[in-house]
Structure 1
Amino acid sequence: MVLHIVHPEKREVKMERAEWGYFTVELTDAVPGMRYLYIPDGEGSFPDPASHHQPEGVHGPSEVIDHCTHTWRDTKWRNLPLQDLVLYELHVGTFTPEGTFESVIPKLSELTEIGINALEIMPVAQFPGNRNWGYDGVFPYAVQNSYGGPSGLKKLVDACHAKGIAVYLDVVYNHLGPEGNYFGKFGPYFTDTCSTPWGDAINFDGPHADGVREYYSNNPLYWLEHYHLDGLRLDAIHTIHDSSAVSFWELMQNKIQSFTEQAGKPFYLIAESDLNDPKVVKRPEAGGFGFSAQWLDDFHHSLYVLLDKKGKSRYEDFGKMEQLAKAYTDGFVHSGEYVSFRKKKFGRSSASVPGNHFVNFVQNHDQVGNRVRGERLSVLVGHEGLKLAAAATLLAPYIPMLFMGEEYGEDAPFLYFVSHSDEKLIKAVQEGRKKEFAHYKTEGTFPDPQAEESFEKSKLQWQKRKQPKYQQLLKWHQKLIQLRRSLPALHNFNKVDLQAQPLGQEGLVLIRQSHDRLQQLLCLFNFSEKELGFSMPETAVDWKLALNSKADEWLQQPEKSPANDAPKQVEAGKPVTLPPLSVLLYINSI
């Protein structure tokens, strides 16, 4: 193995073989900014798999970074409790016209004004070109150069902490992108015993897996130490296969625990999992994976199909009000039943798992971007439906997440986009997406992922936030988040203290109560276009109206209906009329 230095002056340095197949060399004249490549076995020169910066992209040399040059201002920051978060999923490249880390900073105040206190940034590990969702990254330790590199990300995190915003990063440990992936030149990073839908599976338990496990299990510590991140969201953990006695998850969790004990602040891990298995959030010593929380896809599917009736074609196993009720009371909707989509019985009950171990949402990058035209919910349902969606999400006993622009009803699409340089790969991506979505021909032609236009169309239109049509929805989200923060009943994630009852197939009653049971919250949802009747529970003397989605301040067009004037106070057992497509929120007066 030879170290090939290309800047500031070209030279080659022979490396010495060490234990476990590693090669090392010590340089006394290495300085920040030095660029280098490795030459393994004389087969060409390649970037460092553990590179901290790729200033010339995935095919260029790696650069030495001095992480001590950034002066951190967040020394008093100790992270936020996971259950207090209102997450905001953000794609750096399309969040602002500039598409950089630093361009996000001026927008932070607008997010905090509505109550957002945590960013979940889509992957920034170096990927090919300058536009990509990020899941094609090939350098898990290097920050995307076109976003602003290491310096830009540190400035953003520092600014977020100054505003009271926690920062989570989406990372991909299940595969590496195809272009710029030179890992096979350096070691047995991959296995052929299993695969993923996106490429070769990572070797976490095969021969010579120890180095691979170390490489990935140290990655969270890197983000915590050098970038002061507050947590990670791990992509598709169900495609990571490991039969080791000490699993990769346990190895990683042990390292994080040791590090955080010294750092004096928590570090949270959120999983994306398709297993519908509560072991994902159980501790490793109890046979679990040890994640702090996981995305709750079943909540999305249950809610979305009730909002957009055409959604049944996408989620054939959803569409019943009882399923949304179960999503509130249990979490997983599929918990051992036969599921047509999977052609088998699927899942295990999560009813015993507290709600603060789940992240719920009605939109995210996958659910929007994996539509043919990248339509957001704002294009699929009307204003009243969007208010319903927001209330159903933010009043749930889970950690809520909004997808960027959702808070004001952004209607620009979020498309799938890439900027590869390999013509064969470009064609494969184009044909692959067309084939994947061929059964949705009625939705139109799939936009070219390689076209810059697909990327530009996906950028947020920030000026819309100030327009009346959008500002009303923005204030609606702000109101819901204020209620979430101020009402004790919404601080209780214990499912024993929660009830959810369908009102036929048109509506749903959600009852939440505080830990001390002194406050009860009655959330009445009408998903239909007709009025619904409901008799108030006998559990309180009377109920006071806290929110009415049909009040004049929340209507874009006046609607003349007596049902819109919900009574300000209702005695126990008395009837209430729910207007079409509405939310009524009542609090008891114990």
Structure 2
Amino acid sequence: MIFEVWAPNATSVELMVLGARRPMSLGAEGWWSTEVEGVEHGAGYAFMVDGGGPYPDPRTRRQPDGVFGPSAVYDHARFTWSDHEWMGRDLRGAVIYELHIGTFTTEGTFQAAIERLQHLVELCVDFVEIMPVAPVPGGRNWGYDGVDLYAVNETYGGPDGLKSFVDACHRAGIGVILDVVYNHLGPSGNFLHPFGPYFADYKGSYWGDAVNLDGPGSDEVRRYFIGNAVQWLRDYHIDGLRLDAVHALHDNRATHLLAELAAEVDALACSVGRPLSLIAESDLNDPRMVRPLEAGGLGMTAQWNDDVHHALHCAVSGESHGYYGDFAGLPALAKVLTGGVLHDGSYSTFRGRSHGRSFAGVPGHRLVACLQNHDQIGNRPVGDRLPIPALKLGAGLLLTSPFTPMLFMGEEWGARTPFLFFSDHMEPALRESEAERREREFDGFGYVWDAPDPSEEETFLRSKLDWSEVKEEAHWSLLCWYRDLIALRKALPELSDPRLERVRVEVDPLGKWLLMWRGTLAVCVNFAEELVALPVPAGTVLLTSDEPVAADEDGLRLPGQSMVIYRPAR
């Protein structure tokens, strides 16, 4: 077996395998290699660089003993797939379901998640988006502190566990999107520094050192991340990647890393014969992110859209603190529903400057919108979710909007369990400072920070979904509402039409109601607690959240905090 590792600045590199240290030979472009006979799948190995180490392989495929242990040889060809008839899924017209493997079930494993797939089939979602699965320190973490990016967290079930999960999803007709983090690596267990110039000499974001994407040696660093993306899509049969915080990628080269990645993924899609998606998390409000490469864009299939979340959240919760300030009031919601974003060059009071550009001409399916996600819940001090009445109205608007809707695990039944920030750093200094660091990160967001300690195991355990809630009447009723909304969205082309210019919205000057026209369909929402009449002609009720609904010469009368999808008579 041939072992290779990139270490361009090293004077000596040794391989530790089969109980011996073996010198490696320097080849072209800083790559060291050696061939060892008798090494089989599962064998442990590590590298010594200039006498330091042992270090895990930067491209390790498996870390059976965690981030501080040796790497293990892993042969992708040993896994037997059963998804041969899977032709992939297009993001257009899809509904995404975000989940965290560790808290989706009591067991917190890929296998346990497989046992809950029937719930997602009955909900009629098209993709599951799983939060990062790279190895992390300790036994619990959101995943954004990952290192050893080519490996899979053993706590969840390791590489075979992830493959089994993807295989089962495909057999169930569900695509899989994996959340990956390329803008930084975790603060613990990161052993890339001795190998080469993986990082720039400055902080790239609040979370850590900038990745070296445009300095000396960056050609190979870029290949490291692009190769990682290709691995998930090719070797794990993943259908798409969600790229964390791409605004924190510092790249001044003529061809941005994202454009280079998009070209590689396009080529791979042609090779494997199925669509592959790239979804960027970006707070730039820049339409170039989702414009095709041939149109001078960065080639992302879609991007997360915080503006839609903020406007929906304000409308159903009444909150207006921190970054929600500009989104309070139904006119803001009307603007995002028709234009995709609120800040299209307008002044952002939270940022203290103008922000964004117009998304005119961008189809709505390129904007992934949500009512809740891991950030918007977990970045609240006590991880609290929206109550059922708010979810009912918010989901009604989200699932009839021109965007690609995304749900967060448990949202569909109004889960009462919080989703808190949790971690399990091994070093005492990191563990003891985590709560203070977290509070500093959200200084100025308008919260009274009374969050539980992220390092306490109880914080993690409280965040696990309680599936027994589904049996309770109020939760079951909300679940049926979500199912009906998704089914109607898939049945009526008007509701998945991504053309923003065809969406018309009317709002009550007093802030009580909103009327969104989707073709000939009227989506009518009463945010007030009392009955209101909306100015629509007589017609047919297709779906309603509450009874009774009546139409007369004064319009459509809706009970307090309710909504109806309605087709007026022609």
TM-score normalised to structure 1 length: 0.92
1:443 to partner: Cα distance: 4.9
- Find 1:195's aligned residue among 204, 208, 212: 204
- Listed as ranges, the matches of 1:55-134 within 5 Å are 55-134=64-143
Kindly provide the CA deviation profile for residues 504-530 of structure 1, in whole angstroms up to 9, marking residues without a partner as x: 2222111012xxxxxx11001111223
Query: Contact 1:312–1:318 (CA<8 Å) still a contact in 2?
Result: no
Correspondence for 2:521: 521
Query: Contact 1:55–1:63 (CA<8 Å) still a contact in 2?
Result: yes
Kindly provide the CA deviation profile for residues 399-457 of structure 1, in whole angstroms up to 9, marking residues without a partner as x: 11110000000011111000111011112212112334566897562201010000000
Query: Contact 2:47–2:57 (CA<8 Å) still a contact in 1?
Result: yes
Which consecutive unaligned segments of at least 5 residues does structure 1 have? 514-519, 552-563
In structure 2, distance between residues paired with 1:124 and 1:73: 22
1:494 to partner: Cα distance: 1.2
* AA at the equivalent of 2:566: Y
In structure 2, distance between residues paired with 1:100 and 1:422: 25
Correspondence for 1:500: 505
1:39 to partner: Cα distance: 0.5
Query: Contact 2:439–2:449 (CA<8 Å) still a contact in 1?
Result: no
1:30 aligns with 2:39: yes
Identify which range, 142-151 or 486-495, moves more after superposition. 486-495
1:384 aligns with 2:384: no
Correspondence for 2:542: 546
- Listed as ranges, the matches of 1:445-456 within 5 Å are 445-456=450-461
Q: How many residues align?
A: 558
SS of the residue corresponding to residue 205 of structure 1 reads coil
- Listed as ranges, the matches of 1:334-353 within 5 Å are 334-353=343-362
- Listed as ranges, the matches of 1:210-359 within 5 Å are 210-359=219-368
1:461 to partner: Cα distance: 0.2
Does the C-alpha gap of structure 1 residues 443 and 342 become closer, same or farther in structure 2, counting only changes over 3 Å? closer
Query: Contact 2:111–2:161 (CA<8 Å) still a contact in 1?
Result: yes
Correspondence for 2:151: 142
1:575 aligns with 2:559: no
SS of the residue corresponding to residue 482 of structure 1 reads helix
1:80 to partner: Cα distance: 1.3
Query: Contact 1:201–1:240 (CA<8 Å) still a contact in 2?
Result: yes
Correspondence for 1:566: 550
- Listed as ranges, the matches of 1:400-411 within 5 Å are 400-411=405-416
In structure 1, distance between residues paired with 2:182 and 2:447: 35
SS of the residue corresponding to residue 368 of structure 2 reads strand
In structure 2, distance between residues paired with 1:495 and 1:118: 23
* AA at the equivalent of 1:565: V
SS of the residue corresponding to residue 195 of structure 1 reads strand
1:158 to partner: Cα distance: 0.4
Kindly provide the CA deviation profile for residues 442-496 of structure 1, in whole angstroms up to 9, marking residues without a partner as x: 7562201010000000000011112212100010101101101111211311122
* AA at the equivalent of 2:280: A
Query: Contact 1:545–1:584 (CA<8 Å) still a contact in 2?
Result: yes
- Find 1:433's aligned residue among 429, 438, 452: 438
1:44 to partner: Cα distance: 2.2
- Find 1:414's aligned residue among 405, 413, 419: 419
* AA at the equivalent of 1:547: L
1:131 to partner: Cα distance: 0.2
1:375 aligns with 2:384: yes
1:162 to partner: Cα distance: 0.4
SS of the residue corresponding to residue 432 of structure 1 reads helix
Does the C-alpha gap of structure 1 residues 218 and 438 become closer, same or farther in structure 2, counting only changes over 3 Å? closer
* AA at the equivalent of 1:549: S
* AA at the equivalent of 1:2: V
SS of the residue corresponding to residue 426 of structure 2 reads coil
In structure 1, distance between residues paired with 2:435 and 2:562: 41
In structure 1, distance between residues paired with 2:249 and 2:446: 33
SS of the residue corresponding to residue 401 of structure 1 reads strand
Kindly provide the CA deviation profile for residues 551-574 of structure 1, in whole angstroms up to 9, marking residues without a partner as x: 2xxxxxxxxxxxx3324xx7xx86
- Identity, % of aligned pairs? 44
1:339 to partner: Cα distance: 1.0
Query: Contact 1:329–1:351 (CA<8 Å) still a contact in 2?
Result: no
Query: Contact 1:15–1:23 (CA<8 Å) still a contact in 2?
Result: yes
SS of the residue corresponding to residue 387 of structure 1 reads helix
Does the C-alpha gap of structure 1 residues 131 and 523 become closer, same or farther in structure 2, counting only changes over 3 Å? same
Query: Contact 1:322–1:502 (CA<8 Å) still a contact in 2?
Result: yes
Does the C-alpha gap of structure 1 residues 126 and 327 become closer, same or farther in structure 2, counting only changes over 3 Å? same
Does the C-alpha gap of structure 1 residues 446 and 411 become closer, same or farther in structure 2, counting only changes over 3 Å? same
In structure 2, distance between residues paired with 1:3 and 1:148: 30
Correspondence for 2:534: 534
1:115 to partner: Cα distance: 1.2
1:5 aligns with 2:5: no
* AA at the equivalent of 1:576: L
1:43 to partner: Cα distance: 1.7
Does the C-alpha gap of structure 1 residues 80 and 59 become closer, same or farther in structure 2, counting only changes over 3 Å? same
SS of the residue corresponding to residue 47 of structure 2 reads strand
In structure 1, distance between residues paired with 2:379 and 2:255: 36
1:28 to partner: Cα distance: 2.7
1:589 to partner: Cα distance: 5.1
1:307 to partner: Cα distance: 1.3
Does the C-alpha gap of structure 1 residues 444 and 339 become closer, same or farther in structure 2, counting only changes over 3 Å? closer
1:395 aligns with 2:406: no
